Structures are given as structure tokens and as C-alpha cells.
Structure 1
Amino acid sequence: MSSSSAASTPTATPDADNSVSCSPGGGASDYTQLRIAAIFIIMCTSMFGALFPVLARRTQWLAVPKGVFDFAKYFGSGVIIATAFIHLLSPALDELSNDCLSPAWQDYPYALALAMLSLYSIFIVELIAFRWGNARLAALGVKHDAHGHGLGGHAAHGPEGNTQVATAGNTNDPLRVDSPVPEKSIEDDKEAQHEHTHVWDHSAVAQVIGICILEFGIELHSFLIGMTLAVDPDFKVLFVVIVFHQMFEGLGLGSRLAFMNLPRRLNYVPIVGALLYGFTTPLGIAVGMGIRTTYNPNTPTASIVSGVMDSLSAGILLYTGLVELLAHEFLFNKEMHAASNGKLAYALICMLLGTGIMALLGRWA
């Protein structure tokens, strides 16, 4: 969902004499009570979408089947990819080619260039962090799966990886009576625990960085949505679409948060991430209503700010969706390699369903 919807994409407004008017001014001020109510309605739906996967995976009383989590995970991947293309990149192209802007903005596809800059920046930062982390693990004598997908789930590569510990001379089960206990077993066990702690530390840092990058792109975009909703003249249509949009996007983010594999001391991170997402759009609505007498998304300055932010967010979500989610979930996931054709088809259908629904919402907003 872009900060500028199909109904509110910044465009020059023709005057009666067919000349183009780009004068500044405040946004719409009708439906005041409903706009205030939208703060709380969107907060509830956004938090439901983001928190439900996280809480359902942590609590036994919900008894949610594993298939539901798989659906949410793959559906959410499709939502994120469609958000990048339909709700961010396309409006950014419109915003930065607005007739109200100076002719210099028309000479180059700045929206695409900024999205590409954002994508490469995230890639380079992650590459440096990945190489640094591997060097630290190698210094500790720990073997690392380069693609981050081995036994035991996804942990090290953002929200999608796995770091494996290989310790020599400690292959026997210490709980078995008939297992030979090697000399210095206590020392070996302490060394293994020490290495495992370092693995957890590097894995946790990688996951938190990965999810922060994803949240930054989503929440920046969500804040701009809220500001636009607060002043948009076509409020009713946009409000309904945003309610569903934020819930589906929250489901996409929540499914990634739910599958983070963190040490116990960091178990609060997914919950905090879900809550932050829930507050972002309502905060944007509140800010937009506070400055609605002066803020107009159709002005050149608003178009530039919104277009640049949408472009940068699109690059972030494109990298996250295509590399972190699709590539590491399908191409480099050993579990998916061994999966049946039926399971693979189910995962692809769920992903395409998420993409299709979010792309369809782009018809109205």
C-alpha cells in the first residue's frame, strides 16, 4: 500500500481554464469522527494480523495446526512481494513524475534508481555482515552452512537461516548408560556450550538485523499511508482498503516474526516487532490529522518526499521478498528439496494467493 493510493496519487489538478494548479493547501477535513475512529480500528486489525502468528506459535491453548503456520508463512511472502511492486514502486513512479515537479524530475526514472540503490545497499550491508560473522565463527572452530538451511530450522540468515555446530569427540549421548565417556568430557562439554553460545549470539544478531530491515521498509510505508488517509478526500474507499491491506501485510510480517529462532532472552523481539507495526499507521493518521490544515499530499514537496520514501522502501522489500524469502525458502531450503510435489505446489499456491490479493487491492488503493 503506497502512501499515495490510486485515489490519492499526487497529480496536477486542472483549473477551470485547463491550466495546471499545483498550489499548496490543506487536505480534506470531512469525516472527522470516522478518521479518528480509523486510528483505533486500523490499530486493532494491524496488531491482529501481526500478533496472531507470533502468539499462536508460542501458546499451546490456541492449538493452531502446523498447516496454518505454513499457509501464513508462504502467503506472507507473496504479500510482501506484491507490496513492493504494486503498492510502493508503481506509486513512486507516479509521484516522482508528477507534472507539478520541475522538468528535471522528468528526465530520469529516479524512482527506479532509488529502489535499485536501496536494494544494493541492503545487499552490501548484509554481505559484509555475513562475511564478518563467518570469520568470527571460523575463528571459534564452528562450521557454518553457507546457505543457512540445515537441520533444525531457519535461524542465521536474517529470519531464514541456520548455523550448525560441529564439535569433535562429543558424538556420544551422555544420557546413555552404555555410552563410553571419553576423558575430559566435562571440558569438551563446556567448550561445546561456549561455541554454541557464540553461534546463538551471531545467529540472533543476524536475525534481528534482517527483521529490522524488513520492518523499516514496511513501517516507513505504513506511516505514510496513515498520513495520506488522514487528509485524503476519498476517505471511505481508502479506509476500507487500508484495513484489509494492513491486516494482510501484518500477517506477512507476523509470519516472519513467528519463525524467528532466538535464544530465550530475546523472546520479546517478535512481540515488540508486531506491536510496533500495529502502532505505525495509527501514528501516521494522528500526525496527518494534526497537520491537515497545512499538509496536502498533492504538493510538489509531499510528492518528492513520498516518492523517495516509497522508492527506498520498495528496494528493501524487493530484496527481502525475493532473496530472503523466496530464494532461501524454496531454492536453498533442504526441507523443501525433500518435500513432495504436493507440498511444493501448496506452498507456491499460498504464495501466489498472497501476491494476488495484495495486487488486487492495488486496484483501489
Structure 2
Amino acid sequence: MSDSDLACGNVDNADTYFGLRVASVFIIWVCGTSGTLFPVLARRSSWLHVPKSLFEFAKYFGSGVIIATAFIHLLDPATYELTSSCLSPAWQEYPYALALCMLSIMSIFILELVAFRWGTSRLQKLGINHDPHGHNVGGHAAHGPEGSPSELTKSVDDIEEQGPNHKMRGHLDDSAAAQIIGIAILEFGVLFHSVLIGLTLAVDDGFKILFVVIIFHQTFEGLGLGSRLAYIRLPPRYNFVPVVASFIYGISTPIGIAVGLGIRSTYNPGSTTASIVSGVLDSLSAGVLIYTGLVELLAHEFLFNKETINSSNGKLAYAIGSMLLGCAIMALLGKWA
């Protein structure tokens, strides 16, 4: 067996700062959950009185965070993991990380295309003209175009008030299902990554620096996710979905830390199996967030959103600046985590 094989098989995880590592489970849980939950609850609250400009900042800032997460925190590590010297030479002969990322992007695109064609057909049977690109609608995208069915004619709340037998009932159910699936896709793109960095934090030698960086990482990423969840329009009976999604995100990294602490005597983050699993998951997650960030967020917020197109130069510059700031901060955190 070669020296590199021996190195890949060794388990020499640090056991320093064990008490702080345990405390990090709860600290990161609070930071991640708070960052995600605050935009969701603030937008629904009447007593917080959060200015609309702050919500706009959080929304565009979150778009930048999601894009930087895809490229810097997922795709780059995936490339490194799937070209590790611990893997067989066959892994070095093809850019598997990029191929898996592309596969993920195309899969999401095809699934969404099929869903929109099916949904548009359903809407036409109800006598509703649906522009799938949202060109005629000035709403906000969450995961999906601005012209989401819940915003095509009148607000969800107004329609709900017309009773359970209203002809739009099936339409609302379809819209809610589509948006909930969108939430699940967006969460998929960040959850595996969050669990994996939790595993790393539990056993890494440079714990203190990584701990501080991950606190900021999870808070900013949570803010990015939460700002998207806050703008999703759902019927009142589905209002719990964004809140549940926020808690699921908040607990993901603590779960990774707890698992890492539990198996720290046997877990080897540099092993062949760990490199393949984390590399594949990071590649697929990167594809999800690249598609979400570039197509669903940037394209539909800036190019297809009538409100943005017709806004003043100052408001547009504010939106772009907020997005670039989120992208820059998250990209900078990639230097350490």
C-alpha cells in the first residue's frame, strides 16, 4: 500500500476544545435559525415595522449569497474532493464534479419545464391566461417566475375568502404545491452542504477560526434563504411551510456537528468514501443553486420583472449593489470555509 493510501486511511481527528465543540451545536443552531427565520417572521409582523427597503436589501443580498455559495462553497470543494489523490486514477481522467453539476442544472430545468407546461395547461382549462415568464406581472420571484399562479389574477387571501367551492380552489392547490416543491429544491441545495461543514467543524484541527467563519457563513446563508422564503405567497393554511423550512435549515449544521462528534474516533473526512460522497453531493447541490441563483433569482428579478425594469436608476443600482455585496461577502468567507 502506498504512503498516500495510508494517509487517506488514517484517522487523526483533533479532540481539543471539546466543550466548545459541543456548545457550537447550539450556538450555530441559534444563529442559523435566527438568520433564516427573521425575514419570514418580520414580513408577517405588524409590530416590527421593518422598512420595505430593508426587505428589498435582504432579498437581493440573499440572491448574491446563494450564487456565491454555489460557486465558491460547493462547486470548488466538489472539484477538489473528486480529484483527491485518495481516489483511483479514473477519477482524475474526467471532470466529474462539473459533469454532475451540469446534470443537476439540466435536470432541474427539465423538471421545471414539464411542471410549467402541465400547470399552464391546467390554468388554461380554468380560463386563466398564464405567462410563464412573468412578463405581464410585477410580482416577486421566490423559486419560480414572478408570474406564479398565486399572483395572476388577485391575491391569495382574496380568493381564499370566497369559500372552499370557488373555481380557483384547485388552481390554488396547484400553485401551493408548486411553490412548496420550489422551497424543497432550494433547501436541497443548501442542506447537504450545511451537514457536511458541520461534520468538518466537529473534527477539524483549526476549530476556533473555522467556528467563527461558519457562524457568519450560516447566518448569511440563512438570511439569503429566509429572504426568499419571506416573499413566497401561499394560501393561509400553508403559511407554516416557510417557518418549517427555516427550522430545517437551522438544524442541519448542528446535526452534522453532533454526528461528527459522535463518530470522531472513526470518521476520516479525507478518506476515499468521504471524498466521493461529499464531492457528489456538493456537485449536485451546486447545480441546484446555480440554476436557482442565475435563472430563478437574477433573470426573473432583474430581466423579467416589470417592476424592476421600470424602476429608477437609483433603485436598480441599489438592488444590484445589494446583490453584489451578498455575493462578495459570501465569496470572501470561502477563503476560510
Letter in 1 for 2:184: C
Question: Which of 189, 208, 214 in structure 2 is aligned with 1:242?
Answer: 214
Identify the match of residue 231 of structure 2 among 212, 234, 259.
Answer: 259
- CA displacement, residues 221-250 of structure 1 (integer Å, 9 cap, x when unaligned): 101111111111111111110000000000
C-alpha change, 1:345 and 1:104, in structure 2 (3 Å) is: same
Q: Is the 8 A contact 1:156 1:162 kept in 2?
A: no
Alpha-carbon distance, 1:67 to partner? 0.4
Larger displacement relative to structure 2 (224-233 or 23-32): 23-32
The offset of 1:192, in angstroms, is: 12
Alpha-carbon distance, 1:289 to partner: 0.7
Name the structure 2 match of 1:298: 270
1:335 matched residue in structure 2: 307
- 1:47 maps onto 2:33 in alignment: yes
Q: 1:336 to 1:311 in 2, by over 3 A?
A: same
Residue type matched to 2:336 in 1? W
> Cα distance 1:89–1:216, how it changes in 2: closer, same or farther (>3 A)?
same
**Over aligned residues, Cα RMSD in angstroms?**
2.3
Residue 162 (structure 1) shift:
3.0
Q: 2:168 is paired with a residue of what secondary structure?
A: helix
How big is each residue's C-alpha offset from its partner over 1:314-359, in whole Å with a ceiling of 9 and x where there is no partner? 0000000001100110110011111011111100000000000001
Q: 2:193 aligns with which of 217, 221, 224?
A: 221
CA separation in 1, counterparts of 2:82 and 2:243?
36
Q: CA deviation at 1:161?
A: 3.7
Aligned to 2:128: 142
The 3 A distance-change label for structure 1 pair 88 and 156 is closer
- SS at structure 1 position matched to 2:128: coil
Where do 5+ consecutive residues of structure 1 fail to align? Answer: 1-13, 168-188
Give, in whole Å, the separation in 1 of the partners of 2:181 and 2:248.
16
Q: Which amino acid aligns with 1:227?
A: L
Residue 55 of structure 2 corresponds to which residue in structure 1?
69
Partner of residue 323, structure 2: 351
Percent identity reads: 65
In 2, Cα distance between equivalents of 1:140 and 1:157: 23
Q: Does 1:207 align with 2:193?
A: no
Q: Residues 40-74 of structure 1, C-alpha deviation per residue, up to 9 Å, x if partnerless?
A: 11001101110110010011111100000000000
- Aligned-pair distance for 1:364? 1.2
Higher CA-based Rg? 1
Distance 1:352 1:60 in 2: 30
Give the match's secondary structure for 1:285: helix
**Native 8 Å contact 1:22 1:300 kept in 2:** yes
CA contact (8 A) 1:80 1:321 kept: yes
What residue identity is the alignment partner of 1:112? L
Q: 1:165 to 1:358 in 2, by over 3 A?
A: closer
Q: SS of 1:22's equivalent?
A: helix
Aligned to 1:181: none
CA spacing shift, 1:293–1:233, aligned 2, 3 Å: same
SS in 2 for 1:57: helix
* Equivalent pair of 1:154/1:261 in contact (CA under 8 Å): no
TM-score, length of structure 1 as denominator length: 0.85
Q: Residues 6-29 of structure 1, C-alpha deviation per residue, up to 9 Å, x if partnerless?
A: xxxxxxxx97xx997322325222
Residue 154 of structure 1: how far off its partner (Å): 3.5
What pairs up with 1:12-91 in 2 under 5 angstroms?
Answer: 21-91=7-77
Question: Offset of 1:209 from its aligned partner?
Answer: 1.1
Matched, 1:197 2:163: no
Q: How many residues align?
A: 329
Corresponding position of 2:109 = 123
Letter in 2 for 1:355: C
Q: Shift in Å at residue 207 of structure 1? A: 1.1
Distance (whole Å) between structure 1 residues aligned to residue 283 and residue 225 of structure 2: 19
The residue that corresponds to 1:176 in the other structure is none
Q: TM-score if structure 2 supplies the norm length?
A: 0.92
Query: How far off is 1:203 after superposition?
Result: 1.8
| Kept in 1: contact 2:139–2:305 (CA 8 A) | no
AA paired with 2:91?
Answer: W
Q: 1:131 to 1:156 in 2, by over 3 A?
A: farther
Distance 1:141 1:87, change over 3 A: same
| Distance change in 2, residues 1:156/1:235 (3 Å) | closer
